[in-house]
């Protein structure tokens, strides 16, 4: 009997998504390891499964170049203490892209019968998640602080308004879930076409949900959405839209910039250009680029600054930039230090490593975008650009919630991009 490895892998991914998504309500001890197990399984398939090796082609050269660079960087850097943590963090820094590549290759190797069975499961999970997400969001708003106390969550405020958690243990995952999953479901519900009516509806919903959930990252989704819509128009219409957009910005700018929401955002952004603040994302971003310049053209090494394993590997880099208190004094005002992905990866990889990293990400993107049918290709482009934009702010790409949310979107997108009616026909046979 032949074992269908790609089918098993996608089902294992759905298993991981389910338990990572419900870790707030089902706090099982192994949940924290699921995203790394998924990443490990993905790496194993990409580098050992014959069909995947044949499909991936040019991606391998860049992957190998990326790992060779990290090994060289490890021996050059005076900071890293652990070769094992360096290699593990090198993979974690690409976690979402690694899992996405493995999922895509797996899906391409499935027959219609397997795809039809997956369609039922992914629909159940994505609609269940969305329903429970909004129920939890509503309960959080109604119960207020009691919701946080009930689930042992931190109590935080923005502009005097309690920041909600919904169904996710990490608050920021709410904003990402809205952007990646809720907006995707809405797009397909609105006929899957990127016309003016749908762009306006999706943008309004994104802004409203951003305000309700108190997570600004959802609003950022409007930028790639409008960008790709405008790009799809004729040159004359495009110029007219840019002019109308500029007029709207001039009219509403005083009201938008005068709001406390905008004032806080501008204040946070200003902290990205200095190390004289207590804003952790700003400190990681500023010091990340400073470290990359100091170690030019190499970096401090994977797992040394702003990444998950850096706190176990070494404190040397944090002492160098005066940030060790964020780890050592966690209970006295410190915070988790993996809160800015771009600052971390620039510091660890350095400018030379970032060139290899960017080329690898572009190559994975091109491999996928050139191989999928064109039905909803533009939506994947929007989501991918949003993924890159948000990476300048949060650690979505290398987090457990990020892996689960993006994988949930990606599997749904792949199946929805098929002729769903034919899959339904196969499932009835």
pLDDT, mean of residues 342-361: 93
pLDDT 10s digits, 353-411: 999 999 999 999 999 998 887 778 899 999 999 999 888 777 888 888 999 999 999 99
Q: In this predicted structure, what is the pLDDT of residue 333?
A: 42
Q: How many CB atoms lie within 10 A of CB 100?
A: 23
* 3-state SS class at 423: helix
Q: What is the mean pLDDT of residues 234-259?
A: 61
Number of neighbours of residue 26 by Cβ within 10 angstroms: 10
Return the pLDDT at 339: 67
Phi, psi (degrees; rounded to nearest 5) at 296 = -45, 135
pLDDT value of residue 251: 58
Query: What was the pLDDT predicted at 216?
Result: 78
The residue-averaged pLDDT of 103-128 equals 90
Is the pLDDT at 245 greater than 50? The verdict is yes
Cross-strand pairs, 158: 161
Residue 296 and residue 126: Cα distance in Å, rounded?
44
Predicted structure pTM score: 0.89
The Cα–Cα gap between 395 and 345 comes to: 10
Are 275 and 294 a contacting pair, CB within 8 Å? Answer: no
């Amino acid at each position: 009997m032949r074992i269908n490895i790609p089918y098993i892998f996608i089902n294992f991914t759905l298993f991981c998504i389910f338990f990572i998504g419900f870790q707030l309500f089902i706090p099982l001890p192994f949940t924290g390891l699921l995203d790394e197990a998924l990443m490990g399984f993905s790496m194993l398939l990409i580098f050992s499964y014959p069909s995947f090796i044949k499909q991936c082609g040019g991606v391998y050269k860049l992957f190998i170049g990326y790992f060779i660079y990290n090994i060289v960087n490890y021996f050059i850097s005076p900071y890293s203490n652990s070769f094992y943590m360096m290699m593990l963090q090198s993979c974690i820094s690409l976690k979402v892209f690694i899992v996405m590549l493995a999922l895509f290759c797996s899906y391409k190797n499935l027959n219609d019968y397997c795809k039809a069975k997956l369609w039922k499961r992914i629909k159940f999970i994505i609609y269940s998640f969305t329903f429970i997400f909004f129920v939890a969001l509503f309960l959080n708003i109604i119960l207020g602080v009691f919701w946080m106390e009930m689930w042992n969550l931190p109590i935080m405020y923005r502009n005097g308004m309690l920041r909600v958690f919904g169904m996710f243990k990490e608050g920021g995952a709410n904003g990402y879930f809205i952007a990646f999953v809720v907006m995707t479901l809405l797009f397909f519900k609105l006929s899957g076409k990127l016309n003016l009516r749908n762009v306006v509806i999706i943008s309004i919903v994104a802004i409203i949900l951003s305000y309700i959930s108190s997570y600004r990252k959802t609003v950022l989704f409007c930028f790639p959405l409008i960008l790709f819509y405008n790009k799809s128009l004729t040159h004359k219409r495009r110029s007219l839209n840019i002019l109308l957009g500029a007029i709207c910005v001039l009219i509403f700018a005083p009201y938008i910039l005068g709001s406390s929401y905008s004032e806080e955002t501008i204040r946070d952004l200003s902290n990205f250009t200095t190390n004289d603040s207590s804003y952790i994302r700003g400190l990681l971003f500023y010091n990340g680029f400073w470290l990359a310049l100091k170690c030019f053209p190499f970096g401090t090494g994977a797992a040394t600054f702003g990444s998950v394993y850096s706190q176990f590997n070494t404190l040397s880099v944090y002492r160098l930039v005066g940030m060790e208190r964020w780890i050592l004094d966690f209970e006295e005002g410190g915070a988790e230090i993996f809160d800015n992905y771009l600052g971390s990866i620039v510091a660890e990889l350095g400018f030379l490593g970032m060139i290899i990293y960017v080329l690898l990400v572009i190559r994975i993107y091109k491999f996928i975008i050139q191989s999928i049918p064109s039905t909803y290709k533009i939506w994947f482009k929007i989501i991918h650009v949003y993924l890159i934009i948000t990476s300048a702010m949060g650690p979505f790409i290398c987090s457990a919630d990020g892996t689960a949310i993006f994988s949930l979107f990606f599997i749904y997108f792949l199946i929805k991009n098929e002729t769903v009616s034919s899959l339904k026909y196969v499932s009835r046979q």
